[in-house]
Amino acid sequence: MMKTNRTARARKAAFATGGGFLIALTLAGCTTAGEDRYGDRRRCYDYGSRHQNGCMYRQQHRRDREQLINQEKALINAQHPRENLRMLREIRRWRGEE
Decide: helix, strand or coil at residue 50.
coil
CA distance 40 to 38: 5
The confidence band for 60, taking pLDDT boundaries of 50, 70 and 90, is confident
Q: Is 59 exposed, middle or buried (0-12, 13-18, 19+ CB in 10 A)?
A: buried
Total Cβ atoms within 10 A of residue 18: 18
**pLDDT tens for each residue of 7-38:** 667 667 766 666 666 666 566 666 676 777 77
Position 25 scores a pLDDT of 59
Which of 94, 89, 72 lies closest to 14 in space, CA to CA?
89
CA distance 96 to 98: 6
Summarize the confidence of residues 68-81 as an average pLDDT. Answer: 90
